[in-house]
Amino acid sequence: MDYSANVTFLFLQGHVELNKYRYLYFTITLTLYLLIICCNVVVISVIYSNKLLHEPMYIFIAALLFNSLFGTTALYPKLLSDFLSERQIISYSACLFQAFSIYTYAASEFTLLSAMAFDRYVCICKPLQYPTLVKISTVKKLLFFCWFVPSCEVGISLMLTYRLQLCKFKLDRIYCNNYSVVKLCCGDTSVNNLYGLFCLTVNVFPPVMFVIYSYVRILDVCLRNSKDFRRKALQTCFPHLFVFISFTVTSCFEIINLRLEANLPHIFAIIVSIENLVIPPLFNPIIYGLKLQEILNRIKRIIWKRRTNTSF
Instruction: Let me know if residue 309 belongs to a domain.
Output: no
Q: What share of the chain is helix, strand, coil (3-state, %, to 5)?
A: 80, 5, 15
With cut-offs at 50, 70 and 90, classify the pLDDT of residue 52.
Answer: confident
Instruction: Let me know if residue 4 belongs to a domain.
Output: no
Other Cβ atoms less than 10 A from the Cβ of 9: the count is 13
Question: Euclidean distance between the first and final Cα of the chain, in Å?
Answer: 72
Q: Which of 151-159's residues contact partners 24+ apart within 8 Å by CB, and which partners?
A: 151/100, 151/104, 151/108, 153/107, 153/199, 153/202, 153/203, 154/99, 154/100, 154/103, 154/104, 154/107, 154/178, 154/199, 155/100, 156/195, 157/103, 157/192, 157/195, 157/196, 157/199, 158/96, 158/99, 158/100
Task: Tell which wins on pLDDT, 20 or 67.
Answer: 67
Residue 81 structural domain: 9-301
Instruction: Let me know if residue 311 belongs to a domain.
Output: no
Q: Phi first, then psi: give them for residue 146, nearest 5 degrees.
A: -65, -30
* Cβ contact 75:172 at 8 Å: no
CA distance 200 to 206: 10
The least confident of 44-48, 186-190, 273-277, 292-296 is: 292-296
* Cβ contact 57:303 at 8 Å: no
Instruction: Let me know if residue 54 belongs to a domain.
Output: yes
With cut-offs at 50, 70 and 90, classify the pLDDT of residue 2.
Answer: very low
Instruction: Let me know if residue 308 belongs to a domain.
Output: no
The tally of domains found in the chain comes to 1
Burial bucket for residue 230 (CB in 10 Å: 0-12, 13-18, 19+) = middle
Q: Which residues contact 128 (CB under 8 A, 6 or more apart)?
A: none
Instruction: Let me know if residue 265 belongs to a domain.
Output: yes
Average pLDDT over residues 11-34: 85
3-class SS of residue 64: helix
Concatenating the DSSP letter of every residue in 195-244 gives HHHHHHHHHHHHHHHHHHHHHHHHHHHHHTS-HHHHHHHHHHHHHHHHHH
The crossing angle, in degrees rounded to 10, of helices 227-259 and 266-274 is: 130
Output DSSP code: residue 125. Answer: H
Read off the CATH number of the domain in which 86 is found: 1.20.1070.10
Query: What are 186-229's pLDDT values in tens digits?
Result: 878 899 999 999 999 999 999 999 999 999 999 999 888 888 88
Output DSSP code: residue 11. Answer: E
Q: Which residues contact 138 (CB under 8 A, 6 or more apart)?
A: 56
pLDDT on residue 308: 56
Please say whether the dihedral angle defined by the alpha carbons of residues 96, 98, 101 and 104, taken in this order, is positive or negative.
negative
Task: Tell which wins on pLDDT, 23 or 296.
Answer: 23
pLDDT on residue 98: 94
Whole-number average pLDDT of the chain: 86
Task: Tell which wins on pLDDT, 73 or 20.
Answer: 73
With cut-offs at 50, 70 and 90, classify the pLDDT of residue 7.
Answer: low
3-class SS of residue 89: strand
With cut-offs at 50, 70 and 90, classify the pLDDT of residue 303.
Answer: low
Concatenating the DSSP letter of every residue in 150-189 gives HHHHHHHHHHHHHTSPB---EESSSS--HHHHHTTB-S--
C-alpha neighbours within 13 Å on the C-beta side of residue 224: 8
Average pLDDT over residues 115-135: 92
Question: Quick one: what percent of the chain has pLDDT higher than 90?
Answer: 45
Query: What are 132-174's pLDDT values in tens digits?
Result: 999 999 999 999 999 999 999 999 999 999 888 888 888 888 8
Instruction: Let me know if residue 114 belongs to a domain.
Output: yes
The bridge status of strand 9-12 relative to strand 89-91 is antiparallel
pLDDT on residue 305: 62
pLDDT on residue 264: 67
Question: Quick one: what percent of the chain has pLDDT higher than 70?
Answer: 90
pLDDT on residue 26: 92
Task: Tell which wins on pLDDT, 7 or 247.
Answer: 247
With cut-offs at 50, 70 and 90, classify the pLDDT of residue 304.
Answer: low
Instruction: Let me know if residue 72 belongs to a domain.
Output: yes
